[in-house]
Structure 1
């Protein structure tokens, strides 16, 4: 009865979902392919690839989940070279990030959770194991995987403060779904306790830690930083303030802050603005014009262009360059935190040995933000005015910024090991 009701509601929602994804896909020029794969239909080339080897299916909904899964994917490639790694995404941006990872054999869009669509997709992929990153639990998908006797593992699992009350209200529906998972590898003890409260069997739950701590700590030399600045037409001696993963409403705050910060620091300053969703480019361009700020698009840069000058903005309308741009920054602000989105990956700044600022809306990274603050690697600001004040203090104190960056790298090194703990559950499921 529950599944009948769920499928009926899905059918009604399809009247809105399909046009929505069609419009989103049009912005990327991939609409037909995205919709086709979300209905469980694959090309002859994809089907041929799927049948070439035994497959492990990893589902990572968007950019953050895809990047979080990369250390795990790398380790799986080393330990199981004969297995084919298939990664699915929901968003086009997540899909674009997955396509760049050489350890991934095939990238697909995740099917809509219609019984017939997921059944078709599962029979095409025929996975030995399904790994779900964070909290993408779809009733029909888990049910069909269970019927096919495919083990399901949740990795880097989390239950946010915002979603926990809603899940708890529906735990009588969640319990039979969670019972179909072989293991739950959760980000923290709080997440582990919450998933057990919702019905996950105690013996299958472990606090394995956060995969985001397990990215390689690659040393970026001053020469590499200089080369990257040249690549992005950024002057070598000017301070660079990078605002990453920004959302609607934040760019206005940041442009206002940019002008105030520039007038209060001892060095020249350039702002690099990286909207979370590149399709918002035109919207941000209009805002820049409204503020009377000169800007250049990342996609329009070419070798031989004049360097950006203080007061200009580099508007990044491409994907996959966040870490490179973070590596040339003197100070980083992570978006989705001045507006009520919940924040984005704060550890990417620490990975590049950079100090990081973030706003009050950081519930998606509650534990990580607390660790960054305690270690002295990050600062939480309450509002745009506090953002200006802290930015001025930090940009006028390069020694402090350097110390904060080193504290961030140390924090990552101290919390590594999640991949190894997670791999124990994966290896057991693949026996």
Structure 2
């Protein structure tokens, strides 16, 4: 099985190299790793101990960020290294002030030895998922504690199948699992891993904290005026096709669309669908246009504003539910916004919880979207339930920090 794993890693890398010839993200993935060891030598003193945080992408960074920042607050002299697998995380957070940030080299035996020797971690913290055989093995061989925080496991994963012995051995390198729910704990127990506690999801701490002191956006305030507003976050084309039918039906509302992809062809596609009264955020921020009463839809053509946008909304639509799965609903819920999303939400416990509380609805058609939108436009209790859900679920960070620091002192 190890041989198949090695072959799989090599094939994956080869495919990314091929895609990099015409795909911008794949190109960043390859080019960003070309000089990673040169960057490490320039930024890292291997004689000093570091805390290593690894994140798959931007979402996992925001999820693990409360733990990182709390550790830095408690131990300001400790140096932190952050790695990303995906360009969507690295490119946005490469200048993060509290850590030295790098792409994670591909998981090979040589890379694992060289990378871990270069950053000299006193502990490693992985958020939610990504389990790399050679990195985990090297950490175990060096007796470096490895923690998985906000972990979540499902029965259909290879770890829990009859053929999953190789993958189960990867998990045995983990010093402790901090998981989100009872199902994950039971699944780990079923394969003999008892070094686990249920601590919840650190995303609740992150979104609650962000909602307490959001960045003010005067351009957004000028655009919406006194109008109730639907914030559409991380949308994809399938979402936008449905959303395009709303402005003409609800002329008293404003609509702000922050798409998941902001390349020019996608922005142009949104403009065509929302042709009546739409404009780009970049046009407002540059002063090329000023909002007026005829502008009903604002297209946010940049990355990084979404979490602050929700403070200006009355209802939220979160995209991805017609693809592989919905994006972050908790950012909206933290501001007391009831949430609408597509049908593919089964892997997201928070979505199920919000639906059960009456603070979210799943839709599959324009008629269902209109019904959900109208209901939430008048339903003040839904906003209350959304906000309270986040408040009641926060606290995972303090529990994790307490256990990690206690183990570190032992």
Same fold (TM over 0.5): yes
Gaps of 5+ in 2: none
Answer yes or no: is the 8 Å Cα contact 1:233–1:301 preserved in 2: no
Q: Which residue of 1 aligns with 2:353?
A: 371
Rate the CA distance shift 1:219–1:152 in 2: closer, same or farther, 3 A.
closer
The TM-score with structure 2 as length reference comes to 0.88
RMSD between superposed Cα atoms in Å:
2.9
* Counterpart Cα distance in 1 of 2:220 and 2:240: 24
Q: Which residue of 2 aligns with 1:133?
A: 127
Rate the CA distance shift 1:290–1:345 in 2: closer, same or farther, 3 A.
closer
Answer yes or no: is the 8 Å Cα contact 2:25–2:87 preserved in 1: no
Deviation at 1:234, TM superposition (A): 1.0
Counterpart check, 1:289 vs 2:281: no
Counterpart check, 1:327 vs 2:311: yes
Answer yes or no: is the 8 Å Cα contact 2:338–2:360 preserved in 1: yes
Write out aligned runs for 1:165-314 (5 A).
168-197=161-190, 199=191, 201-202=193-194, 204-215=195-206, 216-217=208-209, 228-231=217-220, 233-256=222-245, 258-259=246-247, 262-263=248-249, 265=250, 268-279=252-263, 281-289=264-272, 292-302=275-285, 304=287, 305-307=289-291, 309-310=293-294, 312-314=296-298
Deviation at 1:341, TM superposition (A): 1.6
Deviation string 1:108-132 (CA, Å, 9 cap, x unpaired) is 1122112222222212111111111
Deviation at 1:240, TM superposition (A): 1.6
Deviation at 1:106, TM superposition (A): 1.2
The TM-score with structure 1 as length reference comes to 0.84
Rate the CA distance shift 1:52–1:117 in 2: closer, same or farther, 3 A.
closer
* Counterpart Cα distance in 2 of 1:333 and 1:405: 14
Q: Which residue of 2 aligns with 1:41?
A: 37
Deviation at 1:218, TM superposition (A): 5.9
Rate the CA distance shift 1:172–1:220 in 2: closer, same or farther, 3 A.
closer
Please point out which of 85, 90, 107 is paired with 1:113: 107
Deviation at 1:153, TM superposition (A): 0.9
Answer yes or no: is the 8 Å Cα contact 2:147–2:176 preserved in 1: yes
* Counterpart Cα distance in 2 of 1:309 and 1:113: 54
* Counterpart Cα distance in 1 of 2:220 and 2:139: 47
* Counterpart Cα distance in 2 of 1:135 and 1:144: 18
Deviation string 1:357-398 (CA, Å, 9 cap, x unpaired) is 222211231x21232233333233344321111112333x2x
Deviation at 1:248, TM superposition (A): 3.8
Answer yes or no: is the 8 Å Cα contact 1:129–1:429 preserved in 2: no
Deviation at 1:300, TM superposition (A): 3.4
Q: Which residue of 2 aligns with 1:411?
A: 389
* Counterpart Cα distance in 2 of 1:359 and 1:369: 11
Q: Which residue of 1 aligns with 2:157?
A: 164
Q: Which residue of 2 aligns with 1:55?
A: 50
Counterpart check, 1:80 vs 2:62: no
Deviation at 1:210, TM superposition (A): 1.0
Counterpart check, 1:13 vs 2:12: yes
Rate the CA distance shift 1:52–1:181 in 2: closer, same or farther, 3 A.
same
Bigger Cα displacement from structure 2, 204-213 vs 418-427: 418-427
